[in-house]
Amino acid sequence: MIITVASGKGGTGKTLISTSLALSLDGPIQFLDCDVEEPNAHIFLKPKIKKTEKVFALVPEVDYSKCNFCGQCAKVCEFNALIVAKKKVLVFPQLCHSCGACSTLCPKQAIKEVPREIGEINIGQGGKIDFFSGLLNIGEAKPVPLISSVKENVDSQKTVIIDASPGTSCPMVEALKGSNYCILVTEATPFGLADLKLAVATVKKMGIRAGIVVNKDHRDFTEVDKFCQQAHLPILLRVLEDIKIAQGYSIGRPLVEIIPEYKNEFKKLFERIKK
C-alpha cells in the first residue's frame, strides 16, 4: 500500500504525522521524503545514511559547427528555454523541461542533450524503515524531476509512506501520483480550512481516496468538521494542541515519542485506511 501524506499549506504538521505513522507501524516500511525543497523527515526518523545518488536532468547543448541559427529550436520550445539572437543560441537550463523537442526537431541536428545535476537522493535505514530522501540543489526551480527519481525506489511489496511537498502545485501532484490513499493534514484555523479545500479538490480530481488528520486541534474552530461532513471525508485522527508537542518537535522528537499513546492511534488509523 502506498500512502501519501500531504497538506494544502505549509506548517500544518505533515511531517509530524508522516514520521509518526511510519514509527507506529510494523515493518517492512518504506519512507520517501519527497518534500525535496525542504526535507526534514530525517530529523525525526534518524536513519543511518548509507548511500547518496546524484540526480541529473537533460538540457540542450548547441554544436555551433552545425547550427545555422534558423531559430527552429526556440520556436518548438514551449517553455522559452532557448533564444536565438545574433549568431548565438541562449540556453536557460532552469526553464528547460527536458522534453527533447529541440534536439529532435533541429533540422541540422546541431543540438544534443547533456546531463545537468539538479539534486541528490540520500538512502538509509532507520530500524525497520527503509529511508529515501530527495534534496534539490539550491537555486533549482523545478523539483518534479527529482521527486520522480525518488519515487523510482518505491517497493509496492512494502507499506510505503510518502511525505509530499505542501500546497497543491506540481510537486504535490507528482508525489501523489500512483498512491492508494492520501492523508491530508490540516489545522483548525480559517487558513487551514481554505487550503484544505484546495487540497481536497486536487485529490478528488486525481481520483485518489483521502482522509483528514486535524493537527493542533483546539475544538474552538468547528468549520473543518462541517466541511468534512459535507465532503464525505473521514476525520482519521485529531492531534490536540499541546505545548509538549511543539517543544518536542522543535528538538527533533517525533509525536509518538513525545506522547506514546498516539502510537496506538496511528495503528488504528492505518487499519481504518486498509478497510
Same domain for 200 and 166, yes or no, is yes
Q: Which residue has the higher pLDDT, 50 or 218?
A: 50
Average pLDDT, the chain: 95
Q: How far is CA 166 from CA 9, 12, 73, 142, 241, in A?
A: 5, 9, 35, 15, 21
Instruction: Examine the domain organization and report whether 24 and 133 are in the same domain.
Output: yes
What is residue 86's predicted lDDT score, i.e. its pLDDT?
Answer: 84
Any idea which residue has 493534514 for its cell?
185
Domain boundary among 78, 109, 140: 109
For residues 89 and 193, membership in a common domain is answered with no
Look at residue 114 and tell me if it is in a domain.
no
For residue 220, is pLDDT > 90? no
pLDDT > 90 in the chain, percent: 91
219, pLDDT greater than 80 = no
Q: Does residue 115 form part of some domain?
A: no
> pLDDT, tens digit, for every residue of 245-266?
999 999 999 999 999 999 999 9
Q: Quick: pLDDT tens for 28-41.
A: 999 999 999 999 99
Write down the pTM of the prediction: 0.92
CA angle (114 as vertex; 109, 120 as ends), nearest 5: 160
Q: What pLDDT sits at residue 27?
A: 78
Averaged pLDDT for residues 177-203: 95
Is residue 253 located within the same domain as residue 135? yes
Could you tell me if 39 and 166 lie in one domain? yes
